[in-house]
């Protein structure tokens, strides 16, 4: 047959003919896994025959193998809590199952494929299933990045440099200490991603329309979770209050906020990289980023921090998605969070793109970062950073005078302190080396 979807999908194609991308396949495939589990559970509950269960299961397996990807043509942007998306899946499975049975039994999209279910419990559950597996990949990529930052901190541990606050000279530190702080900033997000994964495991599946399980028997509910966990080797379980999880979708907002917070730290690190690598001659130049492409179509030899810039833009996009999800969650009314389509689209995009950008940032930028030891030393020696270290020995007021003289004469603090015999060179070095 030309296509397996039916009348409800055709209506949605006319109602939502928007030039956005199609519904994300990660969501479709997660829904199909739920449909496969539901087929087994419905047979166990006495709602369908063995023949229908087998046909539905086989149709689901075909979709999960990628065989019918072209049967899901709907725009990601639509109204109706995603009912059209859900019916698209129901229709494709039903019509393919009917074909498998060679027309001996007509498998109905509502009576059979959707038995004991509703859009309102299937769609949020499918988004959680999809998000869980995307988050697992994100966690792995973040872990690899953290390990590389830790390795870089060891590589750079003996490189003294100038720390900056308000982009002004602050105190001495090491490049290794900066990279170790980056690893710690990101490491905390690993545990937060695990929290997000835990949120994904709590489903409202079995709640049907409003969470009070109308038309879903206790046998079905027990078996659908058992079968779903068997199919995808997961640890999903029923929420204590299905109505709560059906009427409110703050779990998705919390997941989005966890991803957004991670991107905030990543973007801050990217900003530091741009600052520290600025130059090559007119900037800071303390680190050297890998050259991965030409920086300009008009300025020969120019190299731009393209991966840090990509990381910045990831944060902008994820932050915008998070706001959309927040508004969509707040837009729930009474017993249903109705704005699920935009949550599906934006949450999957945020998690998936974060995973991909982190992987590229890691491979093409962080791994290949080199230190310019001479630049680090030059900026430190010609700064006012040693002032704070000298204060306990010389006093705040005296060091303030020395700093002002350094700025006025363009002489280093070392030259003034040693040259005017406030301290010997040996004493100066001893203080500096004991503090950094």
DSSP bridge partners of 160: 174
With a CB cutoff of 8 Å and minimum separation 6, the contacts of 230 are 37
Please say whether the beta carbons of 222 and 291 come within 8 A. no
Backbone φ/ψ region at 379: left (φ over 0), alpha (ψ -120 to 50), beta: alpha
Spatial separation of the C-alpha atoms in residues 186 and 296, rounded to whole Å: 32
Q: Are strands 370-371 and 287-288 parallel, antiparallel or unpaired?
A: antiparallel
Among 409, 402, 405, 376, CA closest to 387: 402
Three-state secondary structure string covering 43-58: HHCCCCCHHHHHHHHH
DSSP bridge partners of 336: 333
What letter would DSSP give residue 302? -
**Given 76, 247, 256, 296, the catalytic residue:** 296
Task: Return phi, psi of residue 110, to 5°.
Answer: -95, -50
Spatial separation of the C-alpha atoms in residues 118 and 332, rounded to whole Å: 17
Spatial separation of the C-alpha atoms in residues 31 and 86, rounded to whole Å: 8
Among 230, 154, 239, 231, CA closest to 200: 239
153 catalytically annotated: no
Task: Return phi, psi of residue 161, to 5°.
Answer: -155, 175
> Around Cβ 154, how many Cβ atoms within 10 Å?
11
What is the H or E stretch that residue 168 is in?
strand 168-174
Spatial separation of the C-alpha atoms in residues 56 and 231, rounded to whole Å: 14
Both tokens of 17, joined, read: 């003919």
Both tokens of 433, joined, read: 């080396």
DSSP bridge partners of 203: 238
User: Is 322 in a helix, a strand, or coil?
Assistant: helix
Q: Are strands 202-203 and 237-238 parallel, antiparallel or unpaired?
A: parallel
Both tokens of 288, joined, read: 């050297």
Active site residues: 296
């Amino acid at each position: 047959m030309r296509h397996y979807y039916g009348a409800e999908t055709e209506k949605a194609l006319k109602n939502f003919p928007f030039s956005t991308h199609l519904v994300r396949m990660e969501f479709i495939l997660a829904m199909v896994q739920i449909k496969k589990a539901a087929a087994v559970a419905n047979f166990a509950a006495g709602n369908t025959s063995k023949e229908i269960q087998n046909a539905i299961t086989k149709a689901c397996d075909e979709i999960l193998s990628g065989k019918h990807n072209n049967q899901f043509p709907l725009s990601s942007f639509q109204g109706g809590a995603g009912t059209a998306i859900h019916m698209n899946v129901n229709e494709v499975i039903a019509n393919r199952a009917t074909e498998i049975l060679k027309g001996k039994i007509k498998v109905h999209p509502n009576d059979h494929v959707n038995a004991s279910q509703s859009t309102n419990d299937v769609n949020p559950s499918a988004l959680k299933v999809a998000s869980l597996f995307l988050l697992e990949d994100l966690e792995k990529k973040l872990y690899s990045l953290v390990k590389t930052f830790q390795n870089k901190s060891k590589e750079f541990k003996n490189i003294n440099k100038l720390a900056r606050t308000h982009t002004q000279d602050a105190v001495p530190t090491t490049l290794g200490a900066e990279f170790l702080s980056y690893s710690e900033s990101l490491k905390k997000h690993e545990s937060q991603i695990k929290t997000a994964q835990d949120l994904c495991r709590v489903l409202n599946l079995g709640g049907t329309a409003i969470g009070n399980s109308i038309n879903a028997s206790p046998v079905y509910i027990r078996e659908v979770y058992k079968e779903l966990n068997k199919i995808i080797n997961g640890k999903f379980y029923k929420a204590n209050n299905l109505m709560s999880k059906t009427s409110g979708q703050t779990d998705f907002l919390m997941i989005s906020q966890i991803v957004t917070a991670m991107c905030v730290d990543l973007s801050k690190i990217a900003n530091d990289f741009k600052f520290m690598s600025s130059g090559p001659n007119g900037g800071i130049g303390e680190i050297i980023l890998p050259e991965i492409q030409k920086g300009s179509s008009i300025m020969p030899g120019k190299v731009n921090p393209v991966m840090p810039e990509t990381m910045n833009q990831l944060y902008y996009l994820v932050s915008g998605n998070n706001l959309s999800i927040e508004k969509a969650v707040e837009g729930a009314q009474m017993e249903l969070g109705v704005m699920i389509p935009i949550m599906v689209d934006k949450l999957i995009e945020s998690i998936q793109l974060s995973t991909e950008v982190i992987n590229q940032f890691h491979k093409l930028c962080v791994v290949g970062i080199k230190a310019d030891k001479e630049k680090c030393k030059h900026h430190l020696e010609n700064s006012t950073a040693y002032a704070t270290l000298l204060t306990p020995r010389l006093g705040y007021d005296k060091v303030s005078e020395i700093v002002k003289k350094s700025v006025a004469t363009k002489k280093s603090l070392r030259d003034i302190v040693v040259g005017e015999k406030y301290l010997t060179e040996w004493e100066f070095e001893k203080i500096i080396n004991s503090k950094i």
